[in-house]
Structure formats: C-alpha cells, structure tokens
A and B are shown apart, each in its own frame.
Chain A
Amino acid sequence: MSLTHAVKEHKERRKKDNNAVMTMVIKKSKPSPVIHQSRLGTDELFMAIDPDTKQLLCYEERGEHPRGAISLENSLLADNPSISLHNDKQDCYIDICSQEVLSLFTDNFDYQHLRRHFVKGLLVDDIMGYKIFTHEIHSSYAARIDNYRSYDTISKDIIQRWTYPFVPDVRFSANCTTKLEREGMYKAPEIQQSRSAHIGPFTVIGKGTRIGDDSRITHSVIGEGCTIGSNVSIVGSYIWNNVTIEDGCELRHAIVCDGVIIKAAATLEPGVVLSFKVVIGREFVVPAYSKVSLFQQPTAQDSDEELEYADSSSGAIDPSIADAGNKLNGDIVSESSQIQDWSTSQLGPGGAGFIWSACDGGCEEEWRHSVAPIPTDQLAKALLAIEEDSEIVKVSDSALTPSGELEPGSDDDDSDNMDDSNVDTVDFEKEAEATFLRAAQDNIAVDDLILEMNSLRLSYNKSAGDCTGALFYPMMKLALESPHNTAVELQKNVASVVSKWHKLFEVLAKEVDDQIELIMKFEEMCLESTKEFAPIFSQILYLLYEREIIGEEAILRWDDERKDADESDRVFVKQSEKFIQWLREADEEED
C-alpha cells in the first residue's frame, strides 16, 4: 500500500487535534464464522469506531473473551453520537505515530505487547486524552505475518497478485526474471524439469531448481537451487533455497528451510516445519505439526521466556527458526561433531535434528496457526460447538422472549415487587400484631396506636384494608387468650376487647371494602386458626355491627358475594342468616 495518503491524513488531523497521536491502518477482512479467527490465524478482532471521525474507541481481541461477548463502557455510548462496531476488520499493524508515542513508551516501560498493552492503555487512559484514529485501505493490500497460517495466507495472496505490483514476476532486487505462466505458475529461468513432471497451478519455482520424473507439485513455493527427485509429491508447501528432496518423498503443507535434506521415501505430514539444515532419514514419517531443528529444545522455562519474547516482539515468525538461524552462523564448527552423534537420531536412519515437542499452548491449538489448512475433523468439531452454542442461545432466548416482547425492564421490576410484597405482607402482619399486643399490654391510648398503625401502613405501602385485617387477628386472639370457660364468656371477652379498640377500626376501616375484608378475615380465622369463634360467629358479627365497626352495607354485600359460593363457604352466612334477614327488613322499613 502507499502510505502517503495515510500519512497526510494523520498530519492534517494532528494539526486540528493535538491529541491525535496515532493512526492505525486497518483493512476489511471477514473472520471465519466457524473457528472465530481471521484469515491470518489471529484471533477475531472487535473494534468500535466512530463512523464520522474514524476514531478508534475500543479494541478487543476475542482470545480474551472466549464466549464472544465484549463489554463497552457506558461512557463510550454517552460521549459519542454514533459508534460502529466491527468484527470484520483486519489490523495491518501499520501505525503512524507522533513523537509523543515514543515518550509514552519510556513512561510505561512495562508495555510488552503493542496492541494488548499500549493501544488499550491509550484507549482507557482519559487523563492524557490521547486519541487513536483509523485509516481503512480498500484497494491496496497490507498484512502482517506473525504465525505460520498468516505466512501461508499472505504467500498465497501474493501469488494471486493481490499485492500487485509486488508480485514474483516483477523484479525488484533479485537478478533473475520470473515469468508468469498460465494458472498462476511462476517460473524462474534455468529450471530443469523432467517432461513427465507435473507442475500444478499457483506454484513458484526458483532459479536453477531441478525436478525429476513424475513429480507432482501444486500450490507450492520452491526456492532457488533445489533438487527434487522423481516421484515426489509436494502439495501446499514452502521449500526454501538449496533443499534436496530425494526420490519418492511426500510433502504436504510443510515449511522446509534452507539446506534441508529429505532422504528417499520420507513423508512430511501436514503442518511440519523443518528448520535449517535438518536431515530427515529414509522412509521416516514426520508426524503432523511437529517442528524439527538441529538444536535441542530449550528447557521449559527458556521456551516460556522465548515465547513471551516472541509475543512482545512484532517480527519473528517463530523463536525456533530465528534462534536456529542465529546460532547456526556461530555453531558450524560444533555442528560437525553433533552430526556424528545423530547416528541414532529421532529422525530415522541418517537423520539429523531434534523434534520439538509442542509448546505450552498445547497441541490442540496447534492446527489454528499451522501452515496446513484446518483439518476437517477440527472444522466439524468447531461447527458442532457452534451449533451447541446457538442452541443454548436459542433456549435462553425463548426463556427471555415473553418478557422480551413486552418491555423487559419494567416486567422484571413487577415480578420483583410481587416477590417483595409477599415477604412484606408477612412482615407487616407480624409487625402489626406485635404493635397491637404491645399497645394492649401497656395500655397505650387508642389514638396513639392509630398513629402508629398509620405510619406502619405507609412504610410498608399497604392499604387500610390490609391494616384492619392485620389488627383484627391479634385482637381476637387477645380475647381468646384471656381466661374463659364457655362460649358466652368468650363472647363477653370479645365484647370487652372490641369495645376497647372499636375506635381503631372506626378510623382504619372506614370504607365498605375494608369492612368486607374484615368479615372475610374473621371468617377465615374461624375456619382455620381460632375455631373457638366458629359457634359464636353471628353473635360477634352482631357485636361488631353494634359497635359500628362493620356497616350494614358491608354485611349485605358480603352476603351477596357468598350467595354463589360453595356450601362449605356458606356455613357462616347461614349461621348469621337471621341477623342478615333482620338487617334487610330494617332496611325495607326505612325505605
């Protein structure tokens, strides 16, 4: 890509806003929906961008949020009129920075990862107010190689000419002309190719390479000066310079570095990486995703450090390769002695090198970043996981939908209140009972009790009806508790209690509805808790009527309501039939 435009944009923005310290180049590229990683083998990336100013507001990698959920700060939504969220952007790792960025790095020497620490640090830090902006490129191409998968993907993009004019048949520094032939075959001059050899589409073959009879090469890159024997099959592999591959070998999706010798009939399974000058013995099968180097794998601690280093540094493809390359220069002398030791090597007869066991990441993740395409069983597994996920989502969705259709918030609140009110009612009744009993014992004046009950009622947000119900129960209980032998005595007790507290009910149970509530409560009590009152129900009802706690109307309406009820419910209505009859007659007389 051409940086001129991005740099110009950055400078202009910088003139207007002194806090715009960085411009990040991004490119649209869809992540795989199945395994949630980009084409380049990196984790899926979420970005929040202000669509107008192109300011970067949020930068999250999926690896940190395994369930695919990201959280946005409320202030983001509050401060910006519009935000667009993307998961189809690819970070090109090209940043245009102002001088301030350098000082930021000196201030925060603990930044180890450019994206994870530095960018997030800038985004989160409000004090300095530094801003990061994005520049999206469309027709040009930019990408970063940081694992084997991106090495593979970008190589293939180059072969498919997305990076034009930076393609193999345009010469830049090499001194040979590569010609592009049909089906994306790039061939340098001086290739010795057997007539029976078959070279398939999308291959690059370097200068001076020899290819033997009946060899088949497809989708591969082969460097300069390689010697490939007969009956060799190479698919999707990257073979660097001066590699010797003897007859009958099979290579699938492997990276083979400079100077490697693969002896006859050996096989490289998908994802293999062979470091510099490794020798693979005859008929040896290198297992999938293994890495082979001339050097022994460092101890676990070392590799940890190296891994971290590789993470924080932006360039190195893999510590093993870089390491081996560096050490090789110095260690050529010792190498010759080492080769002698390798007579009984792990790599078959005549092989040289050590197989590195998978790094701490575990081999399950190995396929994600390998050169080889994702194996079908892993894809199937990932698909299955997605289906499960979506089922879970569906279930939770269906659970939510009824409330979701209405206003979810208010509905939730209502149900909460229901729960609360149940608890409240019990509390309230207890409280009211305790208050009443205390008043009865301490002989508190009725007016004071009314005041107390009112405040209690208000604090629990109850109606007057609830209040009377709650008071009537302890009142009757009080009457019950005072010593009595016969129903008549009990009736007297009740009469005395009621006469003492009737004023309470006069105030609290003014409404007809409240009075009906009271009757019903009494009815309930007679049936359940205090069955002693059952025989004298009508007498007490009359008493209450006499004391004007319950009005004539309330009794009549109670009677009306009970008319349609079951026989069992009508017990007390029948019992007080005479009284009701009398009331009705009195009513008519008045009329």
Chain B
Amino acid sequence: MPDVQALVNEFLNKLKKRKIEGSQATAKQTAELLRSVISQQRVPRTNQAGALIDAVRAIGEQLIVANPIELAVGNIVRRVLHIIREEDLSLTTAAVAELNLSTVSDDDDDGGGGDQDDRPVLSAAAVAAAARNTLRPPSLQMLLEGAPDFVAVPRSSSSGGDSEGKSKSMDRNSRTRKLKHDIIEAVNELIQDITTCHELIAEQAVEHIHQNEVILTLGSSKTVLEFLCAAKEKKRSFRVFVAEGAPRYQGHLLAKELVARGLQTTLITDSAVFAMISRVNMVIVGSHAVMANGGVIAPVGMNMVALAAQKHAVPFVVLAGSHKVILVYIGASTCRGPMLCPLYPHNPEVLLNELRSPSELLDFGEFSDCLDFGSGDGSPLLHVVNPTFDYVPPKAVSLFITDTGGHNPSYMYRLIADYYSADDLVVQRRHAAGN
C-alpha cells in the first residue's frame, strides 16, 4: 500500500498544480493509477467487490477534489467502479449458477475445466439479465418494479455463498483471484480504448468530410487533428480554417501540424469567425467534456463559433471520445434527476469553469501601474478575467462523433447509461453534498 499511496500522492500533486493538460492524458493516467490501486489492494475473503469499490472510491474522491475542473478524472473513477460492479455481478451470477449446478451434481469438484467453460456463457447471460434491472436506472421497467436495491444483490448472494460452508473456500479463493484478474483485464481494456479512441473517431472522418469542403475549427485538439488527417489520407481534398484560439493560441500549433501533413490551411483570428462562417461547410471542434444533456464544455470562444454556425445553418460537429469525455454530471443539489440535469451556464459554480492567470492575456510589467493597490480605495480599476472554458448548449450542437459512432445531442444521456452505473452517480452526489 505505501507505494500506491505514494503514486496517488504524486498524481494528486500533478493534478493540483495543473501539470497535466488535456482530458485524454488525464483519463489515461487516472485509469493506470486505479489499475495499480486495484492490483495492490488486499482483498478480504468476503465481499471482495465491496472492498475494491470502497478503495477505488476513496482514492477517486481525493482525485476529483484535487482538480474538480478536470472532469475526466471523475469519469474514469466512475467507469472503473462500474467495471468492478459488472465483473462482480457476472462472477456472482456465475457462482450462483455454479452453486445450483453443484447442488444438482454433488460429485463435481470445484474449479473444473467444464466450469471454466460454462462461466462466460452464464456470466454473459447473468449480466444481461442483471443489467436490465440495475444498470439502466431510467428504464421504465425499473421504475415499475420499484428499484431493487442494487448493492444488496451481490451482498446477499455473497453472504449466501459464505453460509454455504467451508467446503467452497477453495472456490472462493480462486474467485477472488478471478475477480481481480477480470477487473484488471477490463481496466486494461479501458486504457486501450482511451488510447485508441482517436483512431476510432478518425475512422469515421470520410463519412463526414466531403470533397472540396471548407472546415472550420477553433483552437487545437488532437482528436480534430487526427480526424482531419484521416480524411486527408483517404484522398479527400478540402480546406481548413483554423481560428487561433486566444489567449493560448493553440490554433497556431494546429495550423503548423496541418500544414506539415499537407493540408491547405488558413489561419484566422477568433473575431473573424463570424465573417468567415458563410464560406464554411462544417465546423468540427474538440471538447473538454460533454454534459449529460448534450451540452459541451469546450475551450473559451467556442460558444461564439457555435452561435455563428447556428446563425448560418452550418453543421456544428463535436468530436468526443466517449470514454474520456462523456460526463455524468450531478450539478446543483436542487437537481433531483441524475440525468438531463438543468445547467445554469451563468453560474460558474455549476459550470466548473477555471479562471487562469491573467498573465496569459497581458504582461504584468506593462500593466503593473494599473494594478497599484496603494492608491484610491485600495482596489484597482483594472480586473483581468481569463476563463478557460465555454459552455455550448445542446441545441447549438448538430452532431457528436464518438468512438461508437455519430450521436444526436439528445441521445447522450442514453450513452451515459451504458457506461456508468447509477449507483456511482448517487455516491458522487452524496460525496458532493457531504463535503
């Protein structure tokens, strides 16, 4: 445990000092950290899944608080929790089935090859059955059935397995290892997904970008770069307008990259977007996070681009790796429904914006005389605000392209239900309220 704690602390430090930039890097590092946490976590004999969930949740809470703006961290923690639950559920249902099997044929020894073969089938079936009940909170069926306690299901079954007697201890031991192994496998898969989501998204480029089109983008996003280059590789010829993305001017870097890859590129200022938008066929942008209601948190200036696109009826396409950026957002405490929570973009507390240093906007030395606190009533007349993010409402977004394909903004909540367990949403809310 000490090295895990050291790892966690190191990562926390990085998050606090805002040393990690970009949701993909953060997501990947979070997943890797949680993997090592899981692998080193000592699992008790009973209720292994519960112990793992508690451990991950405890660390996840620290991580989320360290940088509440970096939403990818919370997302990955929830994903991992969801994975643990899913695996546990599949194993439990397999065990229950196995138990039934063993009661039928008593002479069967535990851990046999046939058992191994049976398990995936059983588990898959069990998952499908259980998922219908537990993993889809908004489903009508669940509401009608009166929401069985999700957590109670594995608990009761495992305690049932406990009472089964010591004869099964060997089996449980292997199950323990099996659970951890499966979870780590699944987390590895998640990490793999995070790393390849660019490619998955980029594969769809040809379907969206047509010959001789003009594409506009703002700032810099690796996903957008890969997307455009994939289309270029497929012999599509098109032009790209890049808005520079003040005050960090990452658009300059994107333009450089695009030119290096042989794309016809035009660099414009952010304020020229409205003037240029009438010549543009499609706006393709990256995002920081996607809200449950289909809204987007994106680099500052994006809302202006979205509004310009809306005004000229230009499609506004947002690229988002579903693993890393789809956010389950529990906003204000007044919000009851876990999904489709109403967002108040004017309230930075809900929006989770980050105000960065004003030095990105102007030189401290040049303006230091405007910031003299020693004169007047002690407060300078100049105040510099440098927000990092913009909120783009869902109605301004035409299409989301995720690694699972294109989606309408209104479909986002559905996607979330596939990836996260409702239980974790509640946990997060309790956590938020308790703090």
Taking beta carbons and an 8 Å cutoff, which residues of A are in contact with B? 27-30, 32, 39, 41, 88, 90, 138-141, 149, 152-153, 156-157, 160-165, 170-172, 177, 179-182, 184, 189, 201-202, 218-219, 235-236, 253, 372-374, 379
Contacts and interface: CB of A to CB of B under 8 A. Distances in A.
Nearest to A89: B365
Contact of A161 (B16, B66, B348, B356): B356
Contact of A171 (B66, B365, B373, B384): B66
A162 B17 contact: no
Nearest to B369: A30
Contacts of B332: none
Given A177-B435, A373-B376, A161 B369 contact: no
B348 A160 contact: no
Interface string B7-37: 0000000001110000000000000000000
B365 A172 contact: no
Contact of B378 (A160, A171, A235): A235
Residue with the highest number of chain B CB atoms closer than 10 Å, among A140, A157, A165, A218: A165
B413 to A, nearest CB: 26
A27 B364 contact: yes
A29 B369 CA distance: 7
Given A28-B363, A28-B364, A29-B368, A163 B374 contact: no
B349 interface: yes
A37 B269 CA distance: 40
A163 B364 CA distance: 11
Contacts of B372: 32, 39
Nearest to B370: A30
Interface string B351-374: 000011111100111101101111
Contacts of B364: 27-29, 138-139, 141, 162
A156 B349 CA distance: 22
A172 B15 CA distance: 10
5 contacts: A28-B364, A152-B378, A160-B358, A171-B66, A373-B377
Nearest to B368: A29
Given A29-B365, A153-B373, A181-B348, A161 B357 contact: yes
Contacts of B141: none
Contacts of B368: 28-30, 39, 90
Nearest to A156: B373
Interface string B236-265: 000000000000000000000000000000
A184 B374 contact: no
Contacts, number: 110
A258 B372 CA distance: 28
A261 B366 CA distance: 42
Given A157-B371, A161-B356, A180-B348, 19 more contacts: A28-B368, A29-B365, A30-B369, A32-B372, A39-B368, A39-B371, A39-B373, A41-B374, A149-B374, A152-B373, A153-B373, A156-B379, A161-B358, A171-B16, A177-B65, A177-B435, A179-B349, A218-B379, A235-B378
B359 A139 contact: yes
Contacts of A39: 368, 371-374
A235 B65 CA distance: 31
Contacts of A372: 378
The 6 closest A-B pairs by CB, nearest first: A28-B365, A164-B357, A236-B378, A373-B378, A29-B368, A165-B18
B379 A202 contact: yes
B358 A162 contact: yes
Contacts of A138: 359, 363-365
B355 A161 contact: yes
B375 interface: yes
A140 B357 CA distance: 9
A156 to B, nearest CB: 5
B358 A374 contact: no
Contact of B365 (A30, A180, A184, A189): A30
B373 A170 contact: no
B50 interface: no
B383 interface: yes
Contact of A180 (B16, B355, B369, B374): B355
Interface in B353-411: 355-360, 363-366, 368-369, 371-380, 383-384, 386
B342 interface: no
Given A28-B366, A177-B68, A373 B16 contact: no
Contacts of A182: 348
A172 B67 CA distance: 10
Contacts of B435: 177, 189
Interface in B33-90: 65-68
Given A165-B18, A182-B348, A236 B377 contact: yes
A440 B435 CA distance: 119
Nearest to A253: B378
B357 A163 contact: yes
B369 A160 contact: no
A149 B383 CA distance: 20
A150 B368 CA distance: 14
B384 A160 contact: yes
Given A160-B384, A219-B378, A373 B373 contact: yes
Contact of B360 (A139, A163, A180): A139
Contacts of A160: 358, 371, 383-384
Contacts of A180: 348, 355
Contact of A164 (B16, B356, B374): B356
Nearest to A368: B374
Nearest to A270: B378
Nearest to A218: B379
Nearest to A370: B374
Nearest to A169: B355
Contacts of B355: 161, 164, 180
A170 B378 contact: no
Contacts of B65: 171, 177
A138 B378 CA distance: 25
B228 to A, nearest CB: 30
A202 B373 CA distance: 13
Contacts of A253: 378
A372 B386 CA distance: 28
Contacts of B366: 28
Given A138-B363, A161-B358, A177-B435, A32 B379 contact: no
Contact of B357 (A41, A162, A201, A235): A162
A88 B367 CA distance: 11
Nearest to A30: B369
A161 B364 CA distance: 12
A162 B355 CA distance: 10
Nearest to A26: B365
A51 to B, nearest CB: 16
A170 B365 CA distance: 25
A186 to B, nearest CB: 11
A161 B380 CA distance: 14
Given A30-B368, A161-B358, A374 B363 contact: no
B184 to A, nearest CB: 30
A163 B357 CA distance: 7
Contacts of A373: 373-378
A137 to B, nearest CB: 9
A222 to B, nearest CB: 16
Contacts of A177: 65, 68, 435
A182 B16 CA distance: 22
